Structure 1
Amino acid sequence: MDQLLLRQFERSREYLIKVLESVSTEHIDVQPDGFNNTIHWHTGHVLTVTEQTMFAFPQRSTNLPVNYVELFGNGTKPADWKGEIPPMEQLIVQLRDQITRIKEIPAKQLDLVFEKPIIGCQTYGELAGFTVIHEATHIGQIQAMKRVIELESVKN
Structure 2
Amino acid sequence: MNESKFFRQFRELREQTLSLAESVSPDLIDIVPSGFNNSIRWNLGHILVAWDHGIFPKINESRRIPQKYHFMFPKGSRPSAWTEEPPAYEEIVSRLRSQVDEIITASDGKLNDLVAQPFLRVKYVRGMFTFHLREEEHHLNCMRRIIAAAESAPAVE
The verdict on a shared fold, with TM-score over 0.5 as the criterion, is: yes
Give the distance between the partners of 1:5 and 1:65, measured in 2 at CA. 26
- After TM superposition, give the deviation of residue 62 of structure 1 in Å: 4.7
Question: Which residue is 1:49 aligned to?
Answer: 50
2:141 corresponds to 1:129: no
- After TM superposition, give the deviation of residue 133 of structure 1 in Å: 0.8
Contact 2:122 2:128 in 1 (8 A): yes
Secondary structure at 2:41 match in 1:
helix
Give the distance between the partners of 1:17 and 1:28, measured in 2 at CA. 13
- List per-residue Cα deviations over 1:118-141 (Å, max 9, x = no partner): 122111111111111100110000
Secondary structure at 1:104 match in 2:
helix
Give the distance between the partners of 2:61 and 2:115, measured in 1 at CA. 16
Consecutive unaligned residues in structure 1, runs of 5 or more: none
Question: Which residue is 1:95 aligned to?
Answer: 96
2:37 corresponds to 1:20: no
* Amino-acid identity (%): 27
Secondary structure at 2:123 match in 1:
strand
User: Aligned partner of 2:74: which letter?
Assistant: G
- List per-residue Cα deviations over 1:70-119 (Å, max 9, x = no partner): 10011111011122310110000000110111221344311112367412
Question: Which residue is 1:85 aligned to?
Answer: 86
Question: Which residue is 1:147 aligned to?
Answer: 148
Equivalent residue runs for 1:105-124 within 5 Å:
105-114=106-115, 117-124=118-125
Question: Which residue is 1:66 aligned to?
Answer: 67
Give the distance between the partners of 2:62 and 2:117, measured in 1 at CA. 20
* TM-score relative to the length of structure 2: 0.90
Give the distance between the partners of 2:27 and 2:154, measured in 1 at CA. 10
Runs of 4+ displaced beyond 6 Å: none
User: Aligned partner of 2:29: which letter?
Assistant: I
Give the distance between the partners of 1:8 and 1:75, measured in 2 at CA. 27
Cα RMSD between the aligned structures?
2.1
Secondary structure at 1:114 match in 2:
strand
* TM-score relative to the length of structure 1: 0.90
User: Aligned partner of 1:64: which letter?
Assistant: I
